[in-house]
Amino acid sequence: MSVNPTLAGCLIFAALTSCAPNHISEDNKEVTMAAVHAPVLPNEPADLTADLPSKYAACPALVLRQHWTGADALPVETGVARIGATTKGLSVHIRYEDSDIFSTATANQQRMWQLGDVAEVFVKPGLDRTDYWEVHVTPNNFLMDLSIPSRSGMQSGEHSWEDIISPESGTVFQTHVTDGAWVAELTIPWSAFGVAGIPESGTTWQFAVCRYNYNGGLEDPELSSTAPLSKRSFHFYEDYTDLTF
């Protein structure tokens, strides 16, 4: 999980980020939006060997940036995410450019942000709720999902690590590693958010796709996010992008 480094001593749970390709292809033209609409997508898993799977062709390309350092600041190794809705859940596709792809994770529910490269997806099902999910996927195909009842409770220690790591979202995911990049798709079931299916038209949630990018060891990861975060904290949901249904 992600935290502002200056608060590292106060927060039990750490931070998150993401990256994407140094070059943005025609298929990955940047989209900068205050709100993103979630198109309805097929339920079938995407073909991760394709640069842009047909399943996500209707989704805007969301470029990961280091917004806290400047509006146009790109990480050294960039990344692109896309998001949409299937009847099964909220689906996210990521592609991260990466010259040193690795994770030392050996099982699900480990502290992935400390163990190597990771894609992180934060979903807050509306500003009227205090809870949100933080879901991590590693390039070597492991998952960590955290159900956070409230950010204030997490930061104060009211919610323990066991409190937030114990619930399971039921996320279904797949990964693919290629030369100089890795790709992932994850679908978080609607039941994780306490809803029966795609939210009603006009509903607005908040989300951020983030990245920890390690190169040459487990030190000094490069962080990035699709959300226009004004501070280096992946939990600053006030700056998440609105997701409309």
Q: Which domain holds residue 235?
A: 5-244
167-189 pLDDT, tens digit each: 999 999 999 999 999 999 999 99
pLDDT bracket for residue 33 (50, 70, 90): low
CA 149 to mean position of chain CA atoms = 18
Q: Quick check: 78 and 213 in contact, CB under 8 A?
A: no
Find where tokens 């997806």 sit: 121
CATH of the domain at 227: 2.60.40.1190
Query: Cβ neighbours of residue 179 under 8 Å, at least 6 residues apart?
Result: none
Closest by alpha carbon to 115, among 19, 209, 227, 221? 221
The C-alpha atoms of residue 96 and residue 178 are separated, in whole angstroms, by 10
Structure tokens at 176: 């693919």
49-91 pLDDT, tens digit each: 988 999 999 999 999 999 999 878 999 999 999 999 999 999 9
Antiparallel, parallel or unpaired: β 222-225 and 241-244:
unpaired
Domain count, the chain: 1
